[in-house]
Amino acid sequence: MRLFAMAVALVLAGTSPAPAQSPREADSTQRAEAREIFRRAIAFNTSVSGGQVPQFAAYVQGLFRGAGIPDSDMLLVPHERIASLLVRYRGDGSGARPLLLMAHMDVVEARREDWERDPFTLVEENGYFYGRGTADMKSGLVTMVATLLRLRREGFTPNRDLVLVLTGDEETAGLTIQQLLRDHHDWMNADFALNADGGGGTLRESDGAPLIYGVQTAEKTYASFRLTVRNAGGHSSAPRAENAIYDLADALGRVRAYQFPVMWNATTVANFAAFGAQRQDEIGAAMRRFAQHPGDRAAATTLSASPFYVGQVRTTCIPTLLEGGHAENALPQSAVATINCRIFPGVAVADVQVQLQRLAGAGVPVTVIDSPSWSDASPLRDDVMRAVAVAVHASYPGVPITASMSSGASDGLFVRAAGIPTYGTSEILMKDGDDFSHGLNERVPVMAFYNGLTHWRVLLTELAGRR
C-alpha cells in the first residue's frame, strides 16, 4: 500500500519551499542502470494471477550475485507459489545492530484490456513512468536495490549489516513477512526497519511544489468482527417477540451510538502540529489545539466529525456487510452483520472484541474474523527522523517533515508487532491527483524515481555510515 500523508494537502496554504531539484549525486550511469532494473522489474507480472514473484526474486538475487554478495549472504525462501528474498550486505562488525530494508515484490492485479498501455511494460511519457507497480512499489524496491549495488561497487562498508527484506504477498495475505519473522529470526533480528512501502510526501496540485513529507511510524490494525443472532424461526404469519433481524438491528444500534475513546501517541501530536500549522480552517485550528493539549475534548469532537480525521484520534468500527433470513414468508433463523474496525495502535484486538460484545449483548455473540495482527506505534527516534530529513531535503529543500499514521496495514505492521520499530519512508513525493496506486494507469513521476536514488543513498550513509 502507499498512503500519502493525508488528504489535507489539498487545502494547504500557498507558502512553501522551492520546487524539487534534480539529484546531484545520482550520476547518469547509475540512473541508466536503475532505469534498466526498473524496466525489468515492471515486466515481471508479480500479481497473484501472474505468479512471477519467484522469478523476480531470482532476478534480484542475480543482481547481488553479480555485485559480489556471496550466496551464503542471500536466502530465497519459497512459500507455495510465491517467495521472499533476504540479502545481507555485511557491515564492519563495529557493533550497531542490523537495519532492515523492506519492500514487497508483488503487485495488485492489472488486466491489459482495462489499461491504456500494457501494465507490464515500463512506459515513460510526459514526465511519468507508467506500469503496474511503478508507485506501489517497484520504484521504491528498485531505487533501494540500485543504491545498494552502487554502494557495493564503491566499496562502502556500513557500520552495521543492512538486511534487504523483499516479501512476496504484501497486497494479499502478508504470509511471507510472517514466515520470515517466525522462521528466520537470525536474519530479521534488527535495531529497526526502513519500509519503502510507507510514508512519502505531497506536491501541490497547481505547481508541484513540495508541501509536506510524512514518515509512517504507525499503522492502524485492520480487524473485522461478526455479530450473529440465531433463532428457531417459524412461520411469518405467527410472529414472536424475539426476532433475529430485530435483535441484530438493536445490537447494531448500540454499536452506532458508541464512540471508542479518544487516543493519541507521539505520532498523532507531531502530525497534527505539522498539518495544523499549514491550514487556516476549523480543522487546522482543532489540529493545533489537539497537538498542544492532546485529548482536548472540543478538538477531538471537531476532528471526529470529519471522515478523514476521525480515525486519527480513535478506534473506528462500522458495519459493512449484512445477511439474514431465508424466505420472505419465514421468521429469520439467523441474522449476521460484519463490522470492520480500524483499531488505534497499541490496542489489542481482543479488547475491541470485548467492547463490541458488551454493546451487542449476551444473545449476540461477537467473533473475530481471521486472526488479525496488531502493533503499537514506533517511537519517533531522533536518529531516524533526522536522517529522513537530510535525505528528503537533499532533493526537496525545506519541506516540513512529520510523522504519520496510516489507516491501513502493510508488512510493517507485522514487523512492529515483532518488536522492531518500523519507519515507512517512501522516496516518492507526488500530487494527490497523480496517485493511481492499485488503480488503472498507475504511475510515478520520473523525477521522484531518480530522486529515490539520492533518498536511499543519503539514508543509508546517514544511518549506517562510519563516523
Instruction: Identify the helix (H) or strand (E) that includes residue 60.
Output: helix 53-66
| For Zn ion, the closer CB: 1 or 428 | 1
| For Zn ion, the closer CB: 361 or 439 | 439
291, three cell numbers: 497537538
| For Zn ion, the closer CB: 1 or 218 | 1
Residue range at the interface with Zn ion (CB under 5 A); choices 132-140, 152-160, 174-182, 214-222? 132-140
Gyration radius from the chain CA atoms: 24
Residue 102 interacting with Zn ion (CB under 5 A)? no
Residue range at the interface with Zn ion (CB under 5 A); choices 65-73, 133-141, 255-263, 268-276? 133-141
| For Zn ion, the closer CB: 197 or 219 | 197
Contact yes or no for 97/188 (Cβ under 8 A): no
User: Which of the residues 194 through 213 are near Zn ion (CB under 5 A)?
Assistant: 197
How many residues touch Zn ion under the rule CB under 5 A: the total is: 4
What single-letter amino acid sits at 149? L
Residue 136 interacting with Zn ion (CB under 5 A)? yes
Residue range at the interface with Zn ion (CB under 5 A); choices 92-100, 193-201, 275-283, 353-361? 193-201
Residue 287 interacting with Zn ion (CB under 5 A)? no
User: Which of the residues 406 through 465 are near Zn ion (CB under 5 A)?
Assistant: none
Residue range at the interface with Zn ion (CB under 5 A); choices 135-143, 148-156, 311-319, 459-467? 135-143
* Among residues 1, 42, 181, 262, the one that binds Zn ion under rule CB under 5 A: 1
| For Zn ion, the closer CB: 33 or 197 | 197
Residue 103 interacting with Zn ion (CB under 5 A)? no
| For Zn ion, the closer CB: 69 or 444 | 444
The site map against Zn ion for 166-185 (x = CB under 5 A) is: --------------------
User: Which of the residues 361 through 380 are near Zn ion (CB under 5 A)?
Assistant: none
Contact yes or no for 281/332 (Cβ under 8 A): no
| For Zn ion, the closer CB: 34 or 102 | 102
Closest by CA position to 103, among listed 411, 415, 389 = 411
Closest by CA position to 140, among listed 270, 267, 38 = 38
Q: What are phi and psi of 162, to 5 degrees?
A: -105, 120
Q: Name the residue with cell 471537531.
A: 302
430, three cell numbers: 507526488
Give least dist CB 47 to Zn ion, A: 13
Give least dist CB 199 to Zn ion, A: 12
Contact yes or no for 275/214 (Cβ under 8 A): no
- Preceding peptide of 6 cis, ω within 30°: no
Torsion sign over Cα 254, 259, 260, 261:
negative
Contact yes or no for 138/125 (Cβ under 8 A): no
Bridge-based pairing of strands 234-235 and 330-331 is antiparallel
Q: What are phi and psi of 85, to 5 degrees?
A: -135, 130
Contact yes or no for 386/379 (Cβ under 8 A): no
Give least dist CB 196 to Zn ion, A: 9
| For Zn ion, the closer CB: 173 or 322 | 173
| Angle formed by the axes of helices 446-464 and 139-153, nearest 10° | 50
Give least dist CB 437 to Zn ion, A: 7
| For Zn ion, the closer CB: 46 or 315 | 46
| For Zn ion, the closer CB: 161 or 197 | 197
Give least dist CB 1 to Zn ion, A: 5
Beta-carbon contacts of residue 266 (< 8 Å; ≥ 6 apart): 217, 377, 379, 380, 403
Cα 85 to Cα 62: distance, rounded to the nearest angstrom? 11
Contact yes or no for 126/220 (Cβ under 8 A): no
Cβ-based neighbour number of residue 178 at 10 Å: 19
52, three cell numbers: 512471477
Give least dist CB 15 to Zn ion, A: 32
Give least dist CB 459 to Zn ion, A: 18
Give least dist CB 170 to Zn ion, A: 5
Residue 137 interacting with Zn ion (CB under 5 A)? yes
The site map against Zn ion for 304-343 (x = CB under 5 A) is: ----------------------------------------
Footprint of Zn ion (CB under 5 A): 1, 136-137, 197
